[in-house]
Amino acid sequence: MTGKASQSLKIKFKRSSKKVWDLSERPSNNQLLELYALFKQATDGDCQGRASGGMRERAKWKAWNAISGMSESEAMERYCSIVDDLDG
């Protein structure tokens, strides 16, 4: 699946983005960065501008910038998959 996300995928993504806040265990920092990047790519598209701010903001920018070019649907699929794996 490439390009624009289907309506059913958008619904699944929305549910996953709510479910991530109720996980029994906190994801690792690397998992959190990946989830952040995928969420931003799915909702805002490619990363724009330059890294700025402190270490946390730069790490988030780098994670998001690393997946620039990924389609909305692929980002949503990967996000949902990670949340499902973490939910166990």
Question: What is the block-wise mean pLDDT of the chain (88 residues), using blocks of 10 residues?
Answer: 83 97 95 98 95 94 97 97 93
The CATH number covering residue 71 comes to 1.20.80.10
- One-letter amino acid at 44 equals D
- 8 Å CB contact between 73 and 4: yes
Residue 11 located in a structural domain: no
Specify if 1 maps to a domain.
Answer: no
Question: How confident is the model at residue 5, as a pLDDT?
Answer: 87
* Count of structural domains within the chain: 1
Residue 26, phi then psi, degrees to nearest 5: -70, 130
| Residue 51 lies inside a defined structural domain of this protein | yes
Give CA–CA dist 4/22, Å, rounded.
28
Check residue 1 and give its pLDDT.
43
pTM of the model: 0.92
Residue 52 is part of which domain span? Answer: 28-87
DSSP 21: G
